[in-house]
């Protein structure tokens, strides 16, 4: 066994132990403990520098104290997401206010494929769980964990929040196309950097943006529905499902896709501006 394999197994053992602890605790206690742990540990991790740099470049008009408060809120939210991970089904049933649920029902019943898009805001794992509660299983497109043993934990935790799970990549793209051809529905988090993506403005700077969501939507002429999850306090949430985005019609499909991606990034930016402490600033979202 290589040193890398030993390290990965130890990391996975710790992750499974924490997950089992969170599952054994009542929901509110698990959420609070996760938030506390992240607030204590997160600021000492190297990745915290990425978040600080992102905040300084995105909100230069804010004071250092204001950005520090956003950063503390981000760590609290991230830790709570981890603590709530074993409790997604209960949250979707008991702890979430739904606005625009008729949009889910419409997509469930229209006989056409569709795509839900969201970002890493609030507890982003809840979108699929809410759709499933209303009878619409989503095939969640996600980035696989680098550690295969932790990947098994992620897939187990999402079982109650997804119809299926599709790893990003060439094989995943083919699987997603197959789902849409069969009239199924995808769920996609669309606010992460993609190295070979398309440069689209986000907070005034080009961010490498995955084009698949726009390409799928225009290819299949299917609804592209934004869903926003907000943490209202503790383990209580609101999800807002908006009407489908309108498609540009310039006569050039590449221009149409770029314009659509621009609209999506602008929407994500509006959401982040309203609740910056609930976004995952740890992403290397911009190329510089």
The domain limits of the chain are 3-278
Q: How large is the average pLDDT for residues 129-151? A: 86
Over the chain, what is the mean pLDDT?
Answer: 92
pLDDT in tens, 101-139: 999 999 999 999 999 999 999 999 999 999 999 999 999
Q: How high is the pLDDT of residue 160?
A: 67
Of 155, 83, 157, 129, the closest CA to residue 227 belongs to 129
Of 197, 222, 185, 202, the closest CA to residue 273 belongs to 202
**Which is more confident, 254 or 230?**
230
pLDDT in tens, 207-227: 999 999 899 999 999 999 999
> How far does the chain reach from its first CA to its final CA, in angstroms?
37
Residue 149 has pLDDT above 90, yes or no: no
Model confidence at 31, pLDDT cuts 50, 70, 90, reads very high
Tokens coding 264: 């999506």
The region that residue 200 occupies, defined by phi over 0 for left and psi between -120 and 50 for alpha, beta otherwise, is beta
Question: At how many degrees (to 10) do helices 48-58 and 64-84 cross?
Answer: 130
pLDDT in tens, 169-200: 888 889 999 999 999 999 999 998 888 889 99
Predicted TM-score of the model (pTM): 0.93
Q: How large is the average pLDDT for residues 59-82? A: 97
Residue 52 has pLDDT above 70, yes or no: yes
Cα–Cα distance for residue pair 78/72, rounded to 1 Å: 10
């Amino acid at each position: 066994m290589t040193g890398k394999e030993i390290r990965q197994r130890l990391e996975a053992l710790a992750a499974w132990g924490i997950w089992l602890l969170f599952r054994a605790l009542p929901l509110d206690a698990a959420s609070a403990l996760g938030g506390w742990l992240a607030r204590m540990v997160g600021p000492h991790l190297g990745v915290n520098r990425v978040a600080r740099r992102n905040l300084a470049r995105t909100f230069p008009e804010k004071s250092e104290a204001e950005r520090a408060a956003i950063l503390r809120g981000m760590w609290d939210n991230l830790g709570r997401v981890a603590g709530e991970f074993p409790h997604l089904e209960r949250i979707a049933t008991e702890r979430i206010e739904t606005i625009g649920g008729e949009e889910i029902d419409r997509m469930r019943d229209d006989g056409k494929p569709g795509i839900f898009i969201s970002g890493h805001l609030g507890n982003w794992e809840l979108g699929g769980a809410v759709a499933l509660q209303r009878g619409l299983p989503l095939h969640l497109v996600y980035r696989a964990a680098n550690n295969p043993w932790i990947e098994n934990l992620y897939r187990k935790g999402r079982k109650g929040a997804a119809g299926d799970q599709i790893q990003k990549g060439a094989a995943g793209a083919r699987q997603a196309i197959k789902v849409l051809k069969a009239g199924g529905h995808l769920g996609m988090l669309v606010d992460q950097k993609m190295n070979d993506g398309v440069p689209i403005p986000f907070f005034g700077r080009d961010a490498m943006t995955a084009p698949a969501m726009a390409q799928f939507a225009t290819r299949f002429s299917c609804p592209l529905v934004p869903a926003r999850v907000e943490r209202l306090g503790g383990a209580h949430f609101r999800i807002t499902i908006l009407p489908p985005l309108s498609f540009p019609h310039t006569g050039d499909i590449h221009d149409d896709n770029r314009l659509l991606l621009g609209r999506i990034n602008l929407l994500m930016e509006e959401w982040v501006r309203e609740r910056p402490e609930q976004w995952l600033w740890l992403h290397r979202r911009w190329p510089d």
